[in-house]
Amino acid sequence: MTFLNIRNLRVRFMSQSGVIHALNSIDFSIDAGESCALVGESGCGKSVLGMAIIRLLPSNAVIDGEIRFREKNMAEMSEKDMQEIRGKEIAMIPQNSAMALNPVMTIGSQITETILLHRKVSHRESTERAIELLKSLGFQEPEKAMDRYPHEFSGGMRERVLIAMSLACSPVCIIADEPTAGLDLIIRNQTIVLLKEQSKEKTLLLITHDLGCAYRLCNWITVMYAGEIIESGPTKEVLSHPFHPYTIGLLASIPSAGLHPISGMSPSPSNFPAGCRFAERCKSPLIRCQKEHPSLVLIDGVRKVRCFYYDRT
């Protein structure tokens, strides 16, 4: 049984200036215990996909397609059923720890609140669980940390608090949205090690623009561009031998490859071109690329790519 199975998912946002096509024909699945990274530039739709999975998109979002969790279509579930799943079965580590935590609540209250919401336990038991979690995440004096407020911690420690909150109810799946963004190199490495330890035997969906983080944490990788999946497969294979010109460009833009950014901009999500969405930035587009929209095709049993001429690379 596939753990998470997304079929033909489309998300649009209705705004006063028109329709924003955030996700288009997303087909994607993860087996239980697998780890998969969603990578791509800001605005490519990866965070929207994470939020769509746990149904936390704003009210102007229109969702079509299926999001099956253990065969049940979450897109059709009642909000009450979704509340049972969120936090308890699928937990999210949100982006931006400074914004995600409540500045006027102690971190102890924020962790125990999550536990009390989903578990039938006493306040004392929830406090013990919170202390145990903070200890396991490297807080030297977890009892004292419980009484402190988010602004009293560094960015790296706040990220750990978010990890503690996501683990509070022992979920089977974690969606981590940019857990290393804004962290310095040392804290980034510590956060990756912690996430690796804490996500063992869980299903991990990592949303990141950090290819190094994706490489270290995930067996599978899905590359997104302009609201679509453009390449996917085993992480090591995709990163060592990318097929899509966008993935090749992403790899060339990382510091260890010499920081060569992809020139140009992504097309506007309110006005995508009829042909390949990457054509404006592709180094060698052909006439067909401007006219026809390429499909995501399976090329060797496990790898998929959305490019007519992937085998030229």
**What does the binding site for ligand SF4 look like in residue numbers (CB under 6 A)?**
245, 276, 278-279, 282, 285, 289, 294, 307-309
Query: Shortest distance, CB of residue 279 to ligand SF4, whole angstroms?
Result: 4
β partners of residue 174: 91, 204
Work out the angle at residue 231's Cα, subtended by the Cα atoms of residues 175 and 182, and round it to the nearest 5 degrees. Answer: 45
Query: Shortest distance, CB of residue 220 to ligand SF4, whole angstroms?
Result: 21
- Nearer to ligand SF4 among residue 178 and residue 228 (C-beta): 228
Contacts (Cβ under 8 Å, ≥6 apart) of 139: 145, 157, 160
State both tokens at 234.
């085993």
Query: Shortest distance, CB of residue 223 to ligand SF4, whole angstroms?
Result: 12
Burial of 140 (0-12, 13-18, 19+ CB in 10 A): exposed
Work out the angle at residue 113's Cα, subtended by the Cα atoms of residues 108 and 119, and round it to the nearest 5 degrees. Answer: 120
- Nearer to ligand SF4 among residue 210 and residue 231 (C-beta): 231
- Nearer to ligand SF4 among residue 3 and residue 278 (C-beta): 278
Query: Shortest distance, CB of residue 278 to ligand SF4, whole angstroms?
Result: 4
Query: Shortest distance, CB of residue 150 to ligand SF4, whole angstroms?
Result: 43
- Nearer to ligand SF4 among residue 124 and residue 283 (C-beta): 283
- Nearer to ligand SF4 among residue 139 and residue 310 (C-beta): 310
Work out the angle at residue 71's Cα, subtended by the Cα atoms of residues 68 and 74, and round it to the nearest 5 degrees. Answer: 35
Cα R_g (the chain), whole angstroms: 20
